Amino acid sequence: MQRAALFRGGDAQMAAGDLGELLVPYMPTIRVPKSGDRVYKTECAFSYDSPDSEGGLYVCMNTFLGFGREHIERHYRKTGQCVYLHLKRHVKEKVPGASGGALPKRRNAKLFLDLEISSDLNSDDFEYEDEAKLVIFPDHYEISLPNIEELPALVTIACDALLSAKSPYRKQESDSWEEELQASKHAKTLVQLDNGVRIPPSGWKCSKCDLRENLWLNLTDGSVLCGKWFFDGSGGNGHAMEHYRETGYPLAVKLGTITPDGADVYSFDEEEPVLDPHIAKHLAHFGIDMLQMQVTENGLRDNDIKPRVSEWEVIQEAGVKLKPMYGPGYTGMKNLGNSCYLNAVMQAIFSIPEFQRAYVGNLPRIFDYSPLDPTQDFNTQMAKLGHGLLSGQYSKPPMKSELIEQVMKEEHKPQHNGISPRMFKAFISKGHPEFSSNRQQDAQEFFLHLINLVERNPVGSENPSDVFRFLVEERTQCCQSRKVRYTERVDYIMQLPVAMEAATNKDELIAYELKRREAEAARRPLPELVRAKIPFRACLQAFSEPSNVEDFWSSALQAKSAGVKTSRFASFPEYLVVQIKKFTFGLDWIPKKLDVSIDMPDFLDISHLRARGLQPGEEELPDIAPPIVIPDDPKALDIDESSVMQLAEMGFPLEACRKAVYYTGNLGAEVAFNWIIAHMEEPDFAEPLVTPAFGEVASSGAAALGAVGLDNQPPEEMVAIIISMGFQRNLAIQALKATNNNLERALEWIFSHPDPEEESDPSLDTMDMENNANANILADTGSEGPRIKDGPGRYELFGFISHMGTSTMSGHYVCHLRKEGRWVIYNDLRVCASERPPKDLGYIYFYHRIPS
What are the counts of helices (DSSP H) followed by strands (DSSP E) for the chain? 23, 32
Residues 6+ apart with CB under 8 A from 242: 208, 225
Q: Which of 60, 82, 340, 832 is catalytic?
A: 340
Active site residue 832: no
Q: In degrees, to the nearest 5, what angle opens at C-alpha 802 toward C-alphas 799 and 803?
A: 160
For 162, counting Cβ atoms within 10 Å of its Cβ (0-12 exposed, 13-18 middle, 19+ buried), the class is buried
Judged by DSSP in three states, 313 sits in: helix
Amino acid identity for residue 529 in this structure: L
The end-to-end CA distance of the chain, in Å, is: 76
SS (H, E, C) 388-433: HHHCCCCCCCCCHHHHHHHHHHCCCCCCCCCECCHHHHHHHCCCCC
Neighbours of 395 (CB within 10 A): 23
User: 424-433 burial, b if ≥16 CB within 10 A, otherwise e?
Assistant: bbbbbbbebb
Nearest to 555 by CA among 483, 616, 490, 638: 483
Distances from the Cα of 518 to the Cαs of 326, 513, 527, 725, in angstroms? 48, 9, 10, 50
Flag whether 412 is marked binding.
Answer: no
Q: Determine if residue 209 is labeled as part of a ligand binding site.
A: yes
Separation between Cα atoms, residue 480 and residue 515, nearest integer Å: 48
CA angle 709, 713, 718 (to 5 degrees): 95
Q: Is 815 annotated as a binding residue?
A: no
Apex 769 CA angle, 765 and 773, nearest 5: 140
Q: Which residues are bridge partners to 272 per DSSP?
A: 267
Catalytic residue among 282, 432, 812, 816: 812
- The amino acid sitting at 477 is Q
Closest by alpha carbon to 438, among 335, 294, 333, 339?
Answer: 339
Three-state secondary structure call for residue 14? coil
Task: DSSP letter for 262, please.
Answer: B
Q: From CA 844, how far away is CA 783, in angstroms rounded?
A: 34
**What are phi and psi for residue 168, nearest 5 degrees?**
-65, -10
Per DSSP, the three-state class of 307 is coil
**Contact between residue 236 and residue 227 where contact means Cβ atoms under 8 Å apart:** yes
List CB contacts of 616: < 8 A, sequence separation 6 or more.
none
3-state secondary structure 619-687: CECCCEECCCCCCCCHHHCCCCHHHHHHHHCCCCCHHHHHHHHHHCCCCCHHHHHHHHHHHCCCCCCCC
Diameter over CA atoms, the chain: 100
- Binding-site annotation, residues: 206, 209, 226, 239
Active site residues: 340, 812
- Binding-site annotation, residues for Zn(2+): 206, 209, 226, 239
